[in-house]
Every structure is written in C-alpha cells, then in structure tokens.
Amino acid sequence: MHIQKQILEQDVLEASIERITWTLENFSKVCVSFSGGKDSSILLNLTAQIARKHNKKFSVLFIDWEAQFNYTITYVEQMRVDFQDVIERFYWVALPLTTQNGLSQFSPTWQCWEPGAEWVRQPPEHAITQPNTLSFYEQGMTFEAFVGKFADWFANNRPAAMLIGIRADESYNRFMSIASARKMRFADDKPWTTAAPRGHAWYVYPIYDWKTADIWTWFGKTKTPYNPLYDLMYQAGVPARYMRICEPFGPEQRQGLWLYHVIEPERWAIMCERVSGVSSGGIYAGQDNQFYGHRKLLKPDHLSWREYALLLLDSMPEQTAEHYRNKIAVYLRWYEKQGISSIPDTQSNDAGAKDIPSWRRICKVLLNNDYWCRALSFSPTKTSTYQRYHDRIALKRKEWGILCNSN
Amino acid sequence: MQQQLMQALDDFLNTLAVEERISAINDFRRLLHEHSPFSDQPVDCVLWVKSSKVSPNDYNPNNVAPPEKRLLLKSLEADGFTQPIVVQEDTPDHFEIVDGFHRHELGKTRASLKRQLLGYLPVTCLNRERSSKTDRMASTIRHNRARGRHQISEMSEIVRELTRSGWDEERIGKELGMDSDEVLRLKQINGLTELFAGRRFSRAWTVK
C-alpha cells in the first residue's frame, strides 16, 4: 500500500489550531492525553489557549508511571496549576498498571505503583490512587487496556474526543495510525480522527503533521516553558529525535534509560532495586549493539537462526519462555494456514518495521525482550484473561505440533 | 654498601611504632623519588597520608550509582587499593583530589577498609608546577573519561570461561557486578548449550 502525502497551504500551527478549535466546538467532552513530553505539551498549551479564547473547558489525562524524573513531575504539576481555569478535571492517574519491561527476561512485565512494592517515589496528594475512583479500572490492567477503557468511560455514551499528541514522523506505526485507509474517520476530510473500537469516543491527532523541528520552533518562538529535562538531555548529547519522555522500560523507551543515571542518580539508585534489569539496561540500552538486538542482530556462527531462537527459549526462565513459545506458535500456525509450512531462516528486510516472517525476526523479538511480540503483529494480552489464554494456547501447541517438547 | 644500608633500614624501621614508621617510609620514598630516573612520573612516589588531610574537589561531575559503588567496595575489599588516589597539594600537607573521589570516600567511611588502612589513604601528587584549578579540572576529566567500554562479545567469552570453570550465574553476577539479566544475556550470546547444563529441567506435562 502506498500512501501519498498532500501538501496543504497552511502551516502546521495554523492547521493544528483549526483542528483543535473544531474539536472543542463539536464535542461536548474533550480530554487531552498528556505525558509531560514535548509533543503533548504543545498540544496541551494550544488546547488551553484556544479553550480560553472560546470559553470552553476540557479535561487532562496524565498517567504517572512512578519511575519518572522529578523534572517531569514538577513540570506536569506546573501545567496543572497554570491551566486550572480551563481544565475541567485533571486525571492524574497513579494506579497499578502493567506494562512490558524490555530490560528483563526474569521479570518481563512491570507494574507501576504495585501494592506492597517499595515505590521509587510517592504519588502527589491529588492523584487518583483509589482503584474505585475509575469504575472501569481493573487491578493491574495493562496500560493499553487502561487507555482504551478510559476513553469509553470518559465518553459515557456521549460523543467525546481524546486529543493525542502523536506525530506521523515518529515511527511507521504512528504514521499508519494516522494514514490507514481502513480505520473509521469522523469525516472524509479529517484523516486525523479515528473512532475508538467501542462506544462514542474519538481519538483526535491535531499535531500529527508536525516535524520535530516544528516542535522546537514553536517553543522557541513563543518562549513557552517546557520540561527542563529536554535541556539536560540536549546537554547530555541525546539527538532531538530520541528525546522521549514516557514509560521508561519499553523496548523503544529504554534507549534513554542511562540518562536517569546521569541526571537523577538518587532516583536511579532506587530504580535499580525496584525494577529487574535496570542496571544492565543502563549499560547496554541506547547503543546499537547485539545485547538487545538493536540495529545489530548477531547470532553465534555455529547455529542457524532457528536453532538460536530455540536456544534462547530454552535458556530463558521457564515462565517467560512459555509465554514466548505460545506467541511464536500462534505466529507459525498462522503462516501454516496460509500455506507456508515453514518460515525461512532469514529473508530480506525481515528485521524491519514491516512484519516479514523469519526465524531471524523471531530472534530479534526474543533479544529485544519484546514481551508483547509487537514485531510479530501481536497486541498485549489483557491481564485478566492472560492465564486462560496462556493455558489454551499451550494445549493447542501440542495439537499443532509446534514448539511442544517433542521438537 | 647496599646490603649494609638495607640492614640499617630494616633495624631502624623495626624500632618505630606504626605512625612513625609510616612517616619514615614516606620520607624514604620522597628521597628515592628524587633520585629516581622516573621522578617525573607521579606514580613513582605513592605516599600514605591521613585521610583527614585529603579533601574532595568542588567540581567533580562523576557520579557513581549504588550498584557500581557496591562493586567498587567489593573491588577494594577483594583486591585492595591497586592504584593511589591522584591529588594535588593545595596547601602544605593538605591534598585536593583530582581522581579517585569514590575510592577515597569508601576508604574513609567503610569500617572494614578504615581498619585495614589505619585511617590512611595512598596518594600520588600531580606536578606542583601545573596547579591551577583549570589544570586540575582538565586532569580530572581525563582520568574519568579516558577508559574503554567492554566489548559485548569479549565479555560474553569471559562469562563462558567462568561458567566452564564452575561459577554459577549468581556468583558471576556478584563477583563482576552484573545483574541476572546481564549474565543470562551474555551467556545466550555465546550460543553454547553446555552453558545451560546447570539449569533445572522444564516442567513435565501430560494430556487428558
């Protein structure tokens, strides 16, 4: 599929103001998804300005990951106070959420604000810490499930918009979430809207066409304060395109992990105790090397990719290995049913964004600690149904004869 | 002649109590240093000075997080001080650290080390002629940064060697200052099944 970009007359700022204005005028409920990062900061600033001008109000969703820089927390708090006059409700969520931990084979998932664990820091007083505050919340649900259900809950059976600050030039996946011809748009001329899977919520991406340089141009021209972490990252030599501030341990996010060590050593120390693999992550993540198979994917000479994948599986902690075996079996089974009885050991472009099957790709997933197997086109399994799913697939594997102990 | 001197020195040192002995040895070392063909090399003269006479500088940007600090302590306990703390004599008989702040801190505060070191620290002085603050700062940064990174494949080889000689993952992690994920991944990168011979078997299963 080839998607052609059409260049508009307007610049990105004018266009975004128009999109946000349209959103505030057409939806009775609007919520900005805010992370403290530069993109969502622009979105929040623009939305607040426009809301003031048109006498509207909106809500904000901020997911507090517990393991966050103080700079970010201080900045988010500042924004909360600064925009109080136009913010209907600021959902500062500090509830246990499960997300993948791209740093560890021993604890491949991680739960922020896990009950009983020694937290890296305490949530602010006004944060949502009581599970029953949000009726849809389930203990330890995944971040992805939370975000989806939050939108439905927020809409409450009326049209509502979730404003999200993703940009197409960030990654292929993000480009597709804007450009996909298959998704449901609000209207034909609004490709920057997507219907949420259920209910009445719409995801709106008003700054989807901004480039990284546009972001900094805006902060530069308007002299709007931003998260000071970016200056520190800049001083630390992090290229602008890598400056992400969000959950810290995913395969993408771990690139910036070493910064904690440099910028907030005390917090780093506590994180090393709290989260498995943080210490080695600080050494190996953020470089292109074979440790996590990031851009440099190597295998031992004496093994084929398939053999290497099996060795990786066999040497992992058993529970983690079984999780991956299930995913890989489903993957292989799918190709079997397409008439591809065995996927190749390697083929061209098999380690890229597009899912081109091979054992090399599977090795990449395993080395990457890509626990949800996104690179094999899976999405996260819901926490509540995980065990059932796990047991069912484990049985199926024997039926299919894929990755059961006999091979 | 040399023989006689050595004998005299031996006899003399035997008469001295600890503190006097340390002070005398320092004096001898200074004398030897003056005559040494390597007198322009700071390490040619390592002196033992009271830790109270050694102070940190006010600019060191190097930060050592607890996992590394634990490893440093382990290193000092296992191997002892293998190199002196690099200092500059800022006022007579007082020294400012150029390199080795964290070793100095551990040596000064950890009970086990304090006992072994009798409250002293080994120092070597930089050339007194280059004593401006900028020189010291530059020297600190050079000490901090002029060192390599471990290559992953070579590290992986070392882990293999250790595994073959019977070290388990826990011991490797402890002795080398690695977390469990680092040890496991370095073993996996080698791709040798034998490295996992020690692990427990998977769970048995049956079908209904």
Identify the helix (H) or strand (E) that includes residue B122: strand B120-125
The residue type of A134 is: L
In terms of Cα–Cα distance, which of A134, A112, A133 is closest to A123? A112
What sign for the dihedral angle of Cα A148, A152, A154, A159?
Answer: positive
Answer yes or no: do B180 and A261 touch at CB < 8 A.
Answer: no
Interface contact flag, A300 B189, Cβ < 8 Å: yes
Smallest Cβ distance to A299: which of B191, B193, B207? Answer: B191
Q: Which amino acid is at B123?
A: V
For residues B79 and B180, give the distance between their C-alpha atoms in angstroms, rounded to a whole number.
23
Count Cβ atoms below 10 Å from residue A5 Cβ, excluding itself: 9
Higher pLDDT, A69 or B75: B75
Q: Hey, are the CB atoms on A289 and B152 less than 8 Å from each other?
A: yes
Q: Which of B71, B101, B145, B179 has the highest number of chain A CBs within 10 A, making it the mutation to test binding with A? A: B179
Among residues of chain B, what percentage have pLDDT more than 70?
Answer: 92
Beta-carbon count within 10 A of A394 CB: 17
Q: How far apart are CA A38 and CA A215, in angstroms?
A: 7
Contacts of A105 in chain B (CB under 8 A): 181, 184-185
What is the number of alpha carbons within 13 Å of residue A130 lying toward its C-beta? 5
If you count them, how many residues does chain B have?
Answer: 208
**How far B200 CA sits from the closest chain A CA (Å)?**
9
What's residue A248's pLDDT? Answer: 67
**Chain A CB contacts of B201 below 8 Å:** none
Mean pLDDT score, B129-145 = 81
Amino acid A406: pLDDT: 43
One-letter amino acid at A113 equals: W
B53 CB-contact burial (10 Å; exposed 0-12 / middle 13-18 / buried 19+): middle
pLDDT tens digits along A232-287: 777 766 665 555 555 668 777 777 777 777 778 778 888 888 888 888 888 888 77
Of A268, A280, A395, nearest to B179 by CB-CB distance is: A280
Q: pLDDT value at position A407?
A: 44
Which of A290, A300, A315 is opposite residue B152, by nearest beta carbon?
A290
Interchain CB contact of B181 with A (< 8 Å): yes
Contact residues on chain A for B63, CB-CB shorter than 8 A:
261-262, 265
Residue A116: left (phi > 0), alpha (psi -120 to 50), or beta? Answer: left
CB A95 within 8 A of CB A141: no
Chain A interface with B: residues with Cβ < 8 Å: 103-106, 261-262, 265, 268-269, 272-273, 276-284, 289-291, 298-300, 302-303, 308, 311-312, 314-316, 318, 321, 367, 395, 398, 405
Cα–Cα distance for residue pair A105/B183, rounded to 1 Å: 11
Residue A285 in tokens:
């993540």
Smallest Cβ–Cβ distance between B196 and the set A291, A300, A314 belongs to: A314
Query: What number is the average pLDDT over the span B1-25?
Result: 95
CB neighbour list of residue B6: distance below 8 Å, 6 or more residues apart: none
The residue of chain B nearest to residue A102, with distances taken between CA atoms, is B181
Chain A neighbors of B184, CB-CB under 8 A: 105-106, 315-316
Contact between residue A339 and residue A328 where contact means Cβ atoms under 8 Å apart:
no
Give dist(CA A110, CA B1) in Å, integer: 72
Question: By CA distance, what is B208's nearest residue in A?
Answer: A395
Burial degree of B112 (CB within 10 A; 0-12, 13-18, 19+): exposed
The per-residue pLDDT of chain B, averaged, comes to 87
Query: CA nearest B186 in A: which residue?
Result: A291
Contact list in B for residue A302 (CB cut-off 8 A) is: 191
Higher pLDDT, A399 or B24: B24
Residues of A in contact with B172 (CB under 8 A): none
Instruction: Classify B118 in phi/psi space as left (phi over 0), alpha (psi -120 to 50) or beta.
Output: left
Cα A333 from chain centroid?
Answer: 27
Among A62, A393, A94, which Cα is nearest to A246's? A62
pLDDT of amino acid A1: 46
**A/B interface, count of CB pairs below 8 Å:** 81
In Å, how far from its chain's centre is CA A256?
Answer: 14
Whether residue B183 contacts residue B168, with contact meaning beta carbons closer than 8 Å, is answered with no
Q: Partners of A109 in the beta sheet?
A: A100
- Residue A286: name the closest of A102, A96, A151 by CA: A102
Q: Provide, as residue numbers in chain A, all residues whose Cβ is less than 8 Å from the Cβ of B182.
A: 277, 279-280, 283-284
Are A272 and B67 contacting, i.e. CB atoms less than 8 angstroms apart? yes
DSSP lists the bridge partners of residue A194 as A203
**CB of B166 within 8 Å of any CB in chain A?**
no
Which pLDDT tens digit goes with each residue over B36-67?
999 999 999 999 999 999 999 988 777 777 77
Q: Is B162 on the interface with A (CB under 8 A)?
A: no
Q: Do B182 and A269 touch (CB under 8 A)?
A: no
For position B87, what pLDDT does the model report?
Answer: 94
Q: What is the DSSP letter of A160?
A: E
Q: Which two tokens stand for residue A136?
A: 């849809």
- Order of strands, edge to edge, in the sheet holding A58-63? A87-93, A58-63, A29-34, A160-163, A201-204, A193-195
Q: Could you report the predicted ipTM of this complex, rounded to two decimals? A: 0.71
Bridging pattern class, strands B85-91 and B94-99: antiparallel
Chain segment A330-386, per-residue pLDDT in tens: 999 999 999 998 999 999 999 888 899 999 999 999 999 999 898 999 988 887 788
pTM attached to this predicted model: 0.75
Which amino acid is it at A217?
Answer: T
Could you tell me if B61 lies within 8 Å of chain A, comparing CB atoms?
Answer: no
B207 contact A CB<8A: yes
Which residue does chain A place closest to B178, by CA atoms? A280
Spatial distance between the Cα atoms of A286 and A238, rounded to a whole number of angstroms: 10
Q: Name which of B65, B180, B191 is nearest A303 (Cβ-Cβ).
A: B191
Which chain B residues contact residue A401 at CB under 8 A? none
CA distance B108 to chain A (A): 21
Contact criterion met (CB below 8 Å) for A194 and A202: yes
Q: What is the mean pLDDT of each run of 10 residues along chain A (407 residues)?
A: 71 92 94 91 96 96 91 94 97 93 90 92 96 93 89 90 86 68 74 78 90 88 87 68 62 75 80 85 79 86 94 91 94 93 92 91 94 90 84 89 70
Structure-token pair, residue A264? 């907030």
pLDDT on residue A192 = 80
Give the pLDDT confidence score for residue A271 in this predicted structure: 84
